[in-house]
A and B are shown apart, each in its own frame.
Chain A
Amino acid sequence: MKPEEVKSVFHDALDQVTPVARSTTDDIVVHGRRKVRWRRTLTAGVTAAVVGIGVVGVAVAMPTAPPPAPAGEAASENATTGECAPVSGVAPGEPDPVAKMYQDALVAEAAEYSFLLPEYFLGDPRHDMPAEGFVYDPAACGYVLDTVAGFEGGHQTDMLAAFVAVYDPAEGDVADRMAGIAGCGEIDGECEWAQDAPEDRPRLLVDEVRRIQVDEDEGEPQPIDFRATLTALEDGTILHIEVSPQFGEGFEIGLDHTQLTAMLAAIPVGEEAPELPGIPGSENPDDETRLIELFLSATVAEIPGAELSDTDITFEDTGEDGIRVASTTLTVDGGEVVEIDLWSAPIDAPGDGGATEEPARHYAFCDAVPGTECVFTAIDDMTAGIHKTVPGDATELSAWRFRVDTAYNYGVIVRYADASGTPPIDFAQLDAIVDQLK
């Protein structure tokens, strides 16, 4: 499809419809003002709460205005965008070993106080959080983590909204920067410098109350306790952790300043980060190589007379949900050329529904193309199978295995490469291939 044809698709999709907004510009400005007030961006560039329009908002902490322009060796500035950038040199969106190192260290230390920072809370859209856990935020000039977490064995109401940041060194007096970040002088609460902290590594302890509109339907904003600890390193790096009860008024903060200080101290700023073990969500390289070898050998074994055009294939990351695809072609007995793909994808929350039809159909993309026929088979408690037929000039056949025991979904797909019709490979052969991918 050509670009101009894509534009035509977009025009068709929008044809004869006019978006009607449910809220006005005034609504946006009112919420914007509230957001500014909560975050106190005009005075400090700190953290506060977020409430969306038309949805139930939840108090969470986020970084806002960036600290003063970065300087020193710990940060660099993107010449094109003017934004800060991590010295790790990792491109935006790519896995960052420094972020992973920070997160692992913080999670481990927090667990010492039974404060669990589970992965599944990182990036919960209901809380307007970044999806990646600890990430480098160029607008904040630092690594930030914004999450909600609970205490081991605790009740849901014990949960805390937690914001953690490691701000790059910047120009200016570090104590002034810390006070600015905390909003000292502006807050309804206390800022206190720890007396036992070294002179070149000050520590600021903050306890305050913020009035936050947790629920748009609740009327008046609620007073919510916030506790924050900020520490500075000798190079001007500032570490910041802030917690508040996730469920607002009346709930206690189950962490004291000593514990918050220990969590910040655990973050290994300046240490060399270990290499990441491959792309998250995919098998490690050895497993991938083995999987492709199994796929190729099974293909040759199950399709008599088939000749593979290329056996030196690798997985290609689709960029979507960890789905990886390896493709090759084979020439069958009649001389026709058939494309054959191996799809591999990790299964989210494999224990949620078992090897049942609904998730199996989802992972086989049964609803992606109208007219697709999917036949489900419950193979055992842990494995489900799908036979899929996608109509088209070149009919596409595929066999899928949805395995909750390994939390992986595999599919073997065939279609004619340059001809119309149904490829001369049946589901029994595809089943035999996909069943060997273990």
Chain B
Amino acid sequence: MTPELEAEFRDYVAARRESLHRMAYLLCGDWHRAEDAVQTSLVKLYAAWNRTRRETAGAYVRRIITNTLIDDSRRGWFRRERVTLAPPESPVETGHDDRLTALSALSALPPRQRAVLVLRFWEDLSVVETARILRCSTGNVKSQTARGLEALRRRYTSESLTGAVR
């Protein structure tokens, strides 16, 4: 990579890293996993920088982050660990502020539903863009969106009953 391209890459990382980190955190609820996923994606982006169109770099990185975190969450080994460990953000255990309630609600979503909601409503991506990142059909994105919204609604209803009134 030429020094000019590398400088461009550094600027890109400096400008986007924090927002990517936030997106990754919303996807998994764990800052360490989020950072690992962001780093992995940026290293891959570096390797592809000289053949990546700048306007598609964001989609490229989002795709790596999202699929890395979804894959991690769907592994049997990871799920088994989660089963035995109560989420530290559980509002029932630790309090009922808005942040903990939000984290708890998100943690209840299946990883793919959660990813759809994050991409659609946090990253403001279209259905088509979301489908491309998740490598699925637009119909699947729509159905996952509907299910995710319904699951969140139910979760929040439940939170209200357990004391986490918003």
Complex interface: chain B residues within 8 A of A320 (CB): 74, 110-113
Complex interface: chain B residues within 8 A of A55 (CB): 36
Q: Which of A7, A52, A94, A369 has the most CB of B within 10 A?
A: A369
Give A92 to B136 CA distance when docked, in angstroms.
6
Determine if A370 is an interface residue (Cβ-Cβ < 8 Å).
Answer: yes
Asked whether B135 lies within 8 Å of A93 as measured between CB atoms, the reply is yes
Give A53 to B35 CA distance when docked, in angstroms.
10
CB proximity to A under 8 Å, residues B60-94: 67-68, 71-72, 74-76, 78-80, 82-84, 86-87, 90-92
Asked whether B121 lies within 8 Å of A13 as measured between CB atoms, the reply is no
CB proximity to B under 8 Å, residues A116-131: 123, 125, 128, 131
Determine if A278 is an interface residue (Cβ-Cβ < 8 Å).
Answer: no
Asked whether B22 lies within 8 Å of A14 as measured between CB atoms, the reply is yes
Asked whether A392 lies within 8 Å of B98 as measured between CB atoms, the reply is no
Q: How many residues of A contact B (CB 8 A)?
A: 64
Determine if A190 is an interface residue (Cβ-Cβ < 8 Å).
Answer: no
Determine if B54 is an interface residue (Cβ-Cβ < 8 Å).
Answer: no
Determine if A368 is an interface residue (Cβ-Cβ < 8 Å).
Answer: yes
Determine if A359 is an interface residue (Cβ-Cβ < 8 Å).
Answer: yes
Could you say which of A35-43, A179-187, A233-241, A406-414 contacts chain B?
A35-43
Q: How many residues of B contact A (CB 8 A)?
A: 87
Contact A9-B71, Cβ < 8 Å, known A32-B43, A371-B92: no
Determine if A22 is an interface residue (Cβ-Cβ < 8 Å).
Answer: yes
Give A391 to B118 CA distance when docked, in angstroms.
27
> With contacts A91-B136, A367-B86, A390-B158 known, what are 12 further pairs, Cβ within 8 A?
A3-B121, A10-B118, A25-B13, A39-B47, A41-B47, A55-B36, A81-B132, A92-B136, A358-B84, A362-B80, A362-B83, A370-B158
- 20 A-B interface contacts by CB (under 8 A): A1-B153, A6-B117, A6-B121, A10-B118, A12-B98, A13-B106, A19-B34, A25-B13, A27-B39, A28-B46, A41-B47, A123-B71, A125-B68, A125-B75, A319-B144, A321-B74, A349-B76, A362-B80, A369-B108, A369-B158
